[in-house]
């Protein structure tokens, strides 16, 4: 990926996508962080065979893999990414993050969110407010077109309710890059305060659904329709929600909305 284009001259944004840094960091931290999360309550993942199937399909088509997940907690990227088999080319998984300014509400802890620390681990920002997916997600589009993996959170941020909003970014990336879509449900980490996490009082895990072909959920084309992107994202939402319900971590309310189940 040495020939990856430069995107931004603004020093506060990454100028190009790097492969070496995230891969090196992954192999350095994967085992100790996995060990720590196991101690804190992370269980064995469900549906690992679906990851292998997605990898096979992506290799046959010469495309990347788009991991699409719900977002319940700051630990979600680790729960999703660290359970993927540790071998190339599926790792490292590049995550869609926010620009550093969007993490200011974390106070002093915000120094660890966004910016160069995130970039080093492969978490590149989606540029918001541009009303153009191609300008908002250039890093991730490039990664997928090079046959790599990207993780995007369908709701665009942490939510206390299971998948109430499906933003169009996932649908856009699938339609534009033809990546194999792998729906993922993070189970058990919703409404999990730090004190409970570090006390090891909750069990949580990732459940990987069956791979989805992009053409089955949206129009695959270079001429992208924003509404088609949102419709594709909504179809992925339904797949993730179905996983949550089948695992017993979400239920439907009488009004047709859904809520997480804390277990």
Contact (CB, 8 A) for 148 and 94: yes
Mean pLDDT of 134-140: 80
Confidence of residue 7 (pLDDT cuts 50, 70, 90): very low
196 CB-near residues (< 8 Å, 6+ apart): 202
Query: In terms of DSSP bridges, do strands 65-69 and 149-153 run parallel, antiparallel, or are they unpaired?
Result: parallel
Query: What is d(CA 126, CA 140) in angstroms, rounded to the nearest whole number?
Result: 8
Distance CA 214, CA 128 (A): 24
Tokens of 141: 């589009």
Q: What DSSP string runs through 205-257?
A: EEEE---B-GGGTS--SSS--HHHHHHHHHHHHHHHHHHHHHHTSEEE-TTS-
* Mean pLDDT estimate for the chain: 81
Mean pLDDT of the region 196-215: 93
Which tokens in the block code for residue 91?
């790792």
Q: What is the pLDDT of residue 6?
A: 46
CA 49 to chain centre: 18
What confidence category does residue 257 fall into, taking pLDDT thresholds of 50, 70 and 90?
confident
State which fold the 20-260 domain adopts: Glycerol-3-phosphate (1)-acyltransferase (3.40.1130)
Show the CA angle centred on residue 103, arms to residues 65 and 14, nearest 5°. Answer: 55
How much of the chain, in percent, has pLDDT values that exceed 70?
78
Q: What is the DSSP secondary-structure string of 63-93?
A: --EEEEE---STTHHHHHHTTS-S-TTT-SE
What local confidence, expressed as pLDDT, does residue 25 receive?
72
Tell me the domain boundaries of the chain: 20-260
Position 11 scores a pLDDT of 40
d(CA 88, CA 128): 31
Question: What confidence tens digit (pLDDT) does each residue in 39-80 have?
Answer: 999 999 999 999 999 999 999 999 999 999 999 888 898 899
């Amino acid at each position: 990926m040495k020939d990856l284009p430069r995107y931004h001259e603004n020093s506060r944004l990454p100028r190009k996508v790097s492969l070496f840094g995230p891969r090196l960091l992954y192999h350095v931290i994967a085992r100790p962080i996995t060990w720590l999360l196991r101690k804190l309550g992370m269980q064995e993942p469900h549906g690992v065979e679906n990851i292998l199937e997605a990898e096979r399909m992506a290799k046959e088509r010469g495309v990347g893999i788009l991991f699409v997940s719900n977002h319940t907690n700051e630990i979600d990227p680790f729960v999703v990414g660290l359970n993927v088999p540790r071998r190339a080319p599926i790792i490292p998984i590049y995550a869609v993050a926010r620009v550093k300014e969007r993490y200011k509400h974390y106070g002093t802890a915000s120094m660890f969110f966004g910016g160069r620390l995130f970039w080093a681990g492969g978490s590149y920002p989606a540029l918001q407010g541009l009303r153009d997916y191609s300008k908002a997600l250039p890093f991730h589009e490039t990664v997928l077109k090079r046959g790599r993996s990207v993780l995007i959170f369908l709701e665009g941020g942490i939510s206390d309710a299971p998948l109430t909003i499906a933003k169009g970014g996932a649908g856009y990336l699938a339609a534009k890059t033809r990546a194999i879509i792998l729906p993922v449900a993070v189970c058990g980490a919703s409404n999990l305060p730090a004190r409970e996490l570090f006390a090891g009082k909750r069990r949580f895990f990732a459940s990987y659904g069956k791979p989805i072909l992009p053409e089955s959920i949206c129009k695959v084309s270079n001429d992208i329709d924003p509404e088609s992107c949102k419709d594709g994202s909504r179809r992925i939402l339904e797949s993730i929600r179905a996983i949550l319900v089948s695992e017993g971590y979400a239920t439907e309310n009488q009004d047709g909305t859904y809520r997480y189940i804390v277990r």
